[in-house]
Amino acid sequence: MNFLAIDYGTKNIGLARASSNIDLVLPFGSVENSDHQIAIKKLVEIITSEKIDKVIVGLPAGLDGSENKNTIKVRAFVKDLEKEIAVKIEFMTEVFSSQAGDRMGTGVSRDEKAAMVILEGYLSTAGGRGAASGRQKTQ
């Protein structure tokens, strides 16, 4: 199974990729998000060309787990993406993924590192297979 993680940002959307065959999460670039529809189109192209089976989207939450304005933006983005693809999309609750990515060192963008943190969390919590307390299905 091929996974793509998305760290949604209003300027850039960070991407990371993993395969269930290989125990390794890799940075996978970023998509500029200055035009929402163009960003969606580029993501659809990536998901299709890379044969992605599941998309994991970081869902920002407050320290108490509550939703905030960023959560609403991410949910709206996912709703638009779901209209364009048949691939399953799941949320992974995330807090401070960008800050955790900053501790990874240099070499790739902050957006990619945040997506890597999201995907690593998803795979370690669920093993890419079962249900986990931090995962939520889209509604």
Count of domains for the chain:
1
State residue 118's pLDDT score.
93
From residue 64, how far is each of 75, 81, 133 by CA, in Å?
Answer: 19, 28, 15
Q: Whole domain around residue 95: which residue ranges?
A: 2-137
Rounded distance between C-alpha atoms, residue 12 and residue 8, angstroms: 7
What number is the average pLDDT over the span 70-86?
95
Cα(87)–Cα(81) distance, integer angstroms: 10
> What is the structure's pLDDT at 100?
52
Could you report the per-residue pLDDT of 84-102, keeping only the tens digit for each?
Answer: 999 999 999 886 555 555 5
Domain of 74: which CATH number? 3.30.420.140
pLDDT tens across 57-70, in order? 999 877 777 788 88
**DSSP β-ladder status, 88-94 and 135-137:** antiparallel
104 confidence band (pLDDT: 50, 70, 90) = low
CA neighbor of 118 nearest in space, from 22, 38, 13, 47 = 13
Place of tokens 């070499």: 107
